[in-house]
Chain A
């Protein structure tokens, strides 16, 4: 069975500067992989390259075995890939319901089942669909991003610093929903995080990006925190 995501020797960057160099990483179906690293090491760029917002200058990107290198982002999203970016990740002017509806594939109208499923974790979703998303609190906005990403049961979830600026209880709930969705539908997750504790608590494996290269990777076991800390040390 092919990997849910296979990043095969990808080099990418902006202008003349290469932010990623020959990155190799794959995520098996049902696996959660955390990408860690300090600021400016290329974590966000990695997700943008996987989604096709940035062209890979070298290497291939495969999603569920299909080579998608060079295809536009919306084609990749159509392969049951959900992406939650870090910045400007919701449509502030649209309602909660409209934000969710945009994640539905064209032609699908019913999202009631998905909302009911996710409202178990994020109760506000069911009751506040008509609220403008920009008026949600920071934590609720992050929950909306997660809910929108999971609404259609994607096979691969790419999520960028979902815990940034969140209180511990919300972080815990986000961890719960990832674990529950994985148990229910075998979703594969590539998680970019600065919050090492959260990342290692939900991940099966981790990888550390440093200066655009994978500096370390391994299972998210008991020793992982210490190994990661060595890379992130002040």
Chain B
């Protein structure tokens, strides 16, 4: 029994590689010829799983990149002839075209305001376009019948078997390293809660674009090998039916497991080759029926269902150690207001939720926003942290106008936002969530786990006080509501913002915890010169910690003054207790 997971993994990979290298000695020619294809398909299934199972991007387009890779080889050899230079050039061209197309698809599919379903739609369209382009290529592409019989590499069947087998193994191993790394946790974080990632300052669209392009290159490599081996290229290598088949294999094998999709692709494709010949329609029928049953009854797929029968208790991963970073220098230019809002409005159609909002807040101020339900408090916070939200007016952070900037860009200006309901990553551990929050300060490695997380003192205080420090290895979904609130606050503080927007940070916390967090907030303001904007319903809490209070009512600022002025106001009291307001309000 191996001692460490790393060693155990290494032994498993060595055994798998040895099996791949030795298998051709034991298998008959037909089995070898089929398995080469199955292995290549398995490798693309792994990329579909990383995209969909881990990062939540359901792409039907992986088949298209497979097709592009295959046509790159086939066309180059048909048009120019086979030479090492042409072969390498075709390889480079296939990968480059795939990456470029994937980048274009990412630009289209991960744009602002685009629905999450759109990436699936656009990858479907991509596959349709690919096929139509091949059809319209005439003799050049061989149209609907494709091309065959071109010169190809002088590699034996056994050689191709070993290449394809090692390629699949490499895809699984590299995939496993990626998904277990810090960057891999980010992929899951994006799937779980893209919004939170963006408010951690991460340009998620870029991350997904890079992932899509990387997956496209792997699929193109597989397609290139496929064309080299089979000596046949045809439009159906890249059509959406094949793209969908890949998704089916991933769902059957178990999304988010890597080994499940790889195994499902190899087994189903291999079985198809045998049974597809004798019982073609029944075999397809069985796959379809099994697929429906799995989706309805075992959404996690067959792999995890089988594994859970054999599984010992899950391996505990030791949580990283926490360290404290020196507090950042207090924010930029003290002469400029930390946040300046002028003439801000927000309307939905004819409904004005915010109108004529003007205020500034400076470093070292803790400004509370209060007002009854529907006054527009949360909408205001949203307009301050996302340039696309407001209908009119301007917002500047430390003198820099946010314009129409996306949340991640606002965060880079020094903004931190805590949401009203706890907005965290349910399936990540507490440590991983904190790690993601620090991603802007410390790059996430794509191949390993950091051994320690450095956090500013304020974030560590929150963790200590709420007991989260002892729960670093706990998955966030097992935390209580209050602990999630505290975690999100710690995550926001970990980003070392200079302007902090907090929407009900203490809802769901106990009295003691609230007092403590109040202390941390006032300390951040007084000692570190942060500017905090706080939305709170608990006026007692507001009174204790605020330096100023802004009262919002029906989308306008009703009052902006000191704690004493606001709490003594008859008007505010009447709004809160609901006695009819004066008609002129």
Contacts and interface: CB of A to CB of B under 8 A. Distances in A.
Contacts of A232: 576-577
Interface stretch (A74-82, A123-131, A160-168): A160-168
A97 to B, nearest CB: 23
A38 B537 contact: yes
A151 B311 CA distance: 59
Contacts of B508: 17
Interface string B565-580: 0010000110011111
A38 B357 CA distance: 26
A197 B581 CA distance: 12
Nearest to B543: A234
A185 interface: no
A121 interface: no
Contacts of B480: 16-17
A193 to B, nearest CB: 8
A168 B373 CA distance: 19
Q: Indicate the member of B374, B508, B578 with the most A CB atoms within 10 Å.
A: B578
Contacts of A197: 578-580
Contact of B583 (A38, A40, A167, A196): A167
A194 B372 contact: yes
Contacts of A229: 577
B578 A234 contact: no
A45 B273 CA distance: 57
Contacts of A165: 374, 554
Nearest to A38: B537
Contacts of A234: 539, 567, 572-573, 576
A165 B481 CA distance: 31
B77 interface: no
Given A16-B480, A234-B567, A167 B580 contact: yes
Contacts of A161: 373
B507 interface: yes
Interface residues of A, number: 22
Interface string A177-194: 000000000000000011
Q: Indicate the member of A16, A167, A195, A229 with the most B CB atoms within 10 Å.
A: A16
Contacts of A40: 504, 507, 537
Contacts of A196: 577-579
A168 B554 CA distance: 16
A163 B581 CA distance: 12
Interface in B481-499: 481-482
Interface residues of B, number: 23
A92 to B, nearest CB: 10
Interface in B466-485: 477, 479-482
B573 to A, nearest CB: 6
A217 to B, nearest CB: 19
A16 B481 contact: yes
Contacts of B373: 39, 161, 164, 194
Contacts of B477: 16
A39 B575 CA distance: 13
B388 to A, nearest CB: 23
Interface in A65-96: none
A195 B578 CA distance: 4
B481 A15 contact: yes
B348 to A, nearest CB: 12
A17 B481 contact: yes
Nearest to A211: B508
A142 to B, nearest CB: 13
Interface string B525-560: 000000000000101000000000000001000000
Interface string A12-31: 00011100000000000000
A48 B374 CA distance: 19
A169 B373 CA distance: 21
Nearest to A198: B578
Given A198-B578, A232-B577, A39 B537 contact: yes
A161 B578 CA distance: 11
A82 to B, nearest CB: 23
B144 to A, nearest CB: 47
Interface in A142-176: 161, 163-165, 167-168, 171
A203 to B, nearest CB: 14
Q: Indicate the member of A39, A168, A196 with the most B CB atoms within 10 Å.
A: A39
A16 B483 CA distance: 11
A85 to B, nearest CB: 13
A163 B578 contact: yes
Contact of B580 (A15, A39, A171, A193): A171
B578 A194 contact: yes
Contacts of A164: 373-374
Nearest to B572: A234
A193 B577 CA distance: 10
A17 B576 CA distance: 26
A53 B424 CA distance: 25
Q: Indicate the member of B572, B576, B580 with the most A CB atoms within 10 Å.
A: B580
A167 B539 CA distance: 25
A197 B504 CA distance: 27
Nearest to B420: A40
Nearest to B573: A234
A116 B547 CA distance: 56
8 contacts: A17-B480, A17-B481, A39-B373, A164-B374, A168-B580, A197-B579, A232-B576, A234-B572
Nearest 8 pairs of A and B residues by beta carbon: A17-B481, A195-B578, A168-B580, A39-B537, A194-B578, A234-B539, A40-B537, A197-B579
